[in-house]
Structure 1
């Protein structure tokens, strides 16, 4: 409440006791305000730098004499003005500002009044400069969130930041430089900016440009389970259990830790792998947002392997030659191809290595058709089916036909008709027509028309005959023709034909046309004769109905229509040639008659006559007549007959006296070895029997037996007084060439004056000249006075008594063991090596080396040694102090020359192990092509680290690595003295085991294994297939003998088993056994 007060204004004197008097103003009466003035209005607060400017409206109170300003609760003073600047403040701090009115009142205006403060007005100081827009804004997406960060502003009065999403502020003031915006929607794009604010609450502009971020799913799927791997050929098939996540996108397959495939299903096949290599697989699941699970665990292992046979070879072609067929085929493309098997008439002919696409099959009979097929084999032993159909090949001569004759060129309208006399050669297949020296036609008949020519232009023609083998004749004499327009003459009339000896004479009436210059005789529309008269004879016909027509040809070459057809049947009254080369071989109550094939092409077969009566009719070139009486002479002749029933005269007679086989009482093959030519004709064996008239001693001597000629020749004849089996030459282990001319052996005897060391050396005898050649010396060198030229390395399982030699079929290459270091270059190992001497050149080659000629890691250790007939491969054992005694195959020539590989290996549990072999002479053998090797080892094929109690016989396929047992599966009895037939299909070995039913003699027998059918056959059975009683007493090395397969059926062997009733000597004897018939012969008589 306000009231008016009166104040007295004037002067007065006031005194106080003891104080001087003070004048007092005269009182004046004034009007004063109330004690509670109202606050001013219109208060405004303006922020300044560390200050606030406070303004208000002047108070209407009477007696107003000022105002009190309070800022932030602090009295900032009074003023009589209507504004006040308050300093010393803190920028950005909110201050509450109030203003109160001051008035004077009371008597004489001496009382000061101050009203209540105004309502507070907020204000804060500011500097006036906003912060810079933030920089370095980044956004990292997360699952339903985005993580933001930015660079720090540098303003000293910076207060903080705020974040704007899509232009809308989504935070308060942040003091840090990061913010996570949560609660977002995945896969929606948001755009963010940041603003800075200072303590003066001034906001910067937004950061630019806005940063985009799209939150997404970051939770990985679970690791896949149930991963399985199934190996295949160059591939592995994998499958697994499906993940259950709804957002699963795919699976990633890892091979050996490397990602190799992305799939959406639950299976995949990993292809293009290397067979026999182990791979480890794991699987990762990936969702649609790219989140990857951990890899499946544990990793699954798989090892692909080759299970697929090669493709059937294609493109097999057979080109005939003279006594041969040359085969070729398209190479297979499989990278693991090992080779091809070639079949002739359904039987395996040979096997050739990969890379070979040709083969020459030689030694064939001309004009005999052979059928060929091939199969491909890979390095895992997978074999394709044989190619089909079989391709025929018929060898024949390669003589070119004679130049064609009778070439006639008949001009026509823009053409020339040419004809000629048929070639008399029966194998002419076609004719090539040359116009002006250029081939323009190839025909099989005897006429052709050359068309599209320019009339009245002269052309020159020649003709070449080509036979069925592609042999081309010289060109015929040329003929000229100038095509022109002409009219053909009328058809010939009165055509008749008269039969002749495989020919026909065709006649006709002379043509009435004046320009007819010739007539042509046609057979089945083909010109077979041309005549300028009224007849022609056609030769080379078969004795069957044949039809002819005749045409007339005028001077311009115009040909008439054909005449009426005339038919005639030529006759065949010519008998085949008489068979030659008649041979006879006696058997027990039987005789085998052989002959050379007759050259006539129409021969249908042969008849064998016994004393004038036909006893056999065959199509081949031999026949066995049985049921004869031993000791009786029989006279045999052979007659050839053709398809027309014509028979040749009888051949010269051969006389055969059947007899029971005899065996020499003194035995044969007692010591040393046994050697034979590949066909079994020539055999080298030792005996005390006196097989030639000049042999009058009782000593054991080596003989060369010619089983065809029936002759026996001593190799190194001894004196008449000689006795026993002590001569080093005659007790040697020999080798013989295929033609029986050369014999190689090792001896301590001085067979040449230059041999003065009395040590073992290797010699070769030329039986044609009776000259010896010393081989175990350097080229052009001499014997060593202290070191033998060859050596026998003895041992507990070695029963050989003489060093081994091996010789090629032609007798020119001889292999042997030697400790001499001067036989060849780079021999510095101070040990025994295998050497080969080329007799024709004198060159000596060290065989037991690496491909570069350096020492092998093992030392050659005999006496076992084998050489293929062509001298390409040598097989020998070798040992070292740190490993087993293994078997090497060395390539001496051809593809891979110099390569030495260990062939005594066993593959088990995915690894290849070298195993030890036996090394006695006869304990290794090799097929003719070098692919198959027979060996003896005690190692267990399924567990090569362990051994049987004795050695067993096996055949090793060097191409496929397959190891096939020769025995019956028994593991208690020794199997040794092995052999292979030339193809390697049949394996032979000696053993005391009863491997076939009924064999109870308990002594050494020879057994054959057919490695295609698995059949076991007792070789040392008698002619009727019965087992023998064998030697008496305990088993001894004297009964071991040797076996030499000539073929799969014909075997030469030395044995103590009595295979003939006449064998009562209880000694080792030489036999020839035919397993196809059971026939047993003693080549030594």
Structure 2
């Protein structure tokens, strides 16, 4: 008779041999074809016998497997006993499911949908959904600091006064400001879906899971799917995805319609014939560019209406070692914004920049606003940005006119002068003619008012005398140019 499930049995005194059989169930043994395990003789001095069933086919590929055992005894005369009571033993399934494949994601305004190809194993019970972060379109494992490359940062203020970056990117890197290596961090459990429920979703053509816990986030998220069978085995490795699983991690971001926060002008500097605008933007990973708007102040100290502000420039946001690009036209977002440019961590240069406005006129008041544009092309509403003003100036002396050689006219006792450039009423108030009796002497004006033409005859002269002339142009803004080269003539 069988004693316990471990294969021990107690022998009657008359028993000399035991035969062990394996069944697939506990039903009537006479109606089944058992598997013969073996025959075992009585061990003298022992009342308990045992054996081990080590058939490699005991373990099922899918799910736990229960087997049933019975024993029959034979005496010395060859008589066989009735079947013993059946006892069972369960062999646990330790084979993990296959890794789910074809993981697909789709970003919407306020949630991300996930789906994948369902496993074909018959014992699949459910699927576990995990989420982490993506860096530049991939899930990046966090390694010890000394084993990964240092991600360098650059300083936008290293750009020159014209708003142009140095030709070499090495000069643009700020070696004193090194950032830690970016990595995605651990995966967090989002939920579990049964295999049967997902079959219905496949039939309906729907996504399987909607992640609605990330509303308003600028980050890019990594989604990892693990299959679980009825025995509790899970696909792949945990908590770090195996190399075989990593290609099946899908990255996705929200494609929202919400504009980012505006940039704040941190510095407005009037320079010689240009104005430098510096700003600090929102510390958000999906800022792609900044736009600068300008309006001319009609009334000093009074901010112009929002309708007067026009686009004048801007710059893009780039990842090191690439350099920001000055915009010659408003930034246009790609049709589909992907994760490949979204960093897992915000860095200082993502939220700062500057623009040099060289299309200004001196002695005027200019107002500026700076707005942000994200990867989906959403731009901050202009009225949400703060306007800052400054007064422009020019310290550049206008170019001197070119004075032609004077012509002496003895018959009329005069000296005729001519020069370039031609008089332009839109730029010039007029020309001033100077004369001196010495080439290095004191030149004094010989006209009572600026001339609005390009020639002049000096009749206040004496024969036999040498005269020296110079010409300067007076601009509409009141700035007087340098005087021309001295030209001399003897009458």
Query: Which structure carries more strand by proportion?
Result: 1
TM-score normalised over the length of structure 1: 0.18
Of Structure 1 and Structure 2, the greater helix share is in 2
TM-score, normalised by the number of residues in structure 2: 0.33
